[in-house]
């Protein structure tokens, strides 16, 4: 039973890496082309999957910069840094709003 679980776990990691290679934008890949990483991951099985995870996958901050350019460049903005939010709170505290 333990062999079956280990095999399913390793197969899951390998499939995750294959799908991750396919879903990653080619411009974000490091060291090899998209087709190169797919071949390495497909035929390298666990070694190829580990190489993808350690060396080919885009770094987290690089991926965050692409997905959320403003947030990555400036950092997250809290409500206490928003002047409009602060004005609204001030107005409510002074009794300008019955909500």
pLDDT, averaged per 10 consecutive residues of the chain (99 residues), comes to 94 94 88 91 92 83 51 62 84 75
Q: What is the pLDDT of residue 12?
A: 95
Q: What pTM was estimated for this model as a whole?
A: 0.58
Instruction: Please check whether residue 42 is in contact with residue 48, taking contact to mean a CB–CB distance below 8 angstroms.
Output: yes
Distance in angstroms between the alpha carbons of the first and the last residue of the chain: 61
Q: What is the pLDDT of residue 9?
A: 95
Q: What is the pLDDT of residue 61?
A: 55
**Maximum Cα–Cα distance across the chain:** 69
Q: What is the pLDDT of residue 35?
A: 92
Quote the CA–CA distance of 70 and 89 in Å, as a whole number.
25
Listed by start position, the domains of the chain span 2-67, 73-99
Q: What is the pLDDT of residue 83?
A: 83
Complete DSSP assignment for the chain: -HHHHHHHHHHHHHHHHHHHHHHS-GGG--SS-HHHHHHHHHHHHHHHHHHIIIIISPPHHHHHHHH-HHHHHH----GGG-HHHHHHHHHHHTTS---
Q: What is the pLDDT of residue 66?
A: 53
């Amino acid at each position: 039973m333990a062999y079956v679980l280990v095999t399913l776990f390793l197969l899951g990691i390998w499939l995750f890496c294959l799908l991750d290679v396919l879903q990653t934008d080619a411009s974000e890949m490091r060291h090899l082309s998209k087709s190169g990483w797919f071949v390495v991951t497909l035929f390298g099985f666990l070694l190829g999957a580990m190489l993808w995870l350690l060396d080919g996958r885009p770094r987290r901050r690089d991926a965050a910069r692409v997905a959320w350019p403003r947030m990555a460049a400036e950092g997250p903005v809290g409500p206490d840094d928003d002047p409009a939010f602060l004005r609204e709170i001030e107005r409510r505290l002074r009794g300008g709003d019955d909500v």
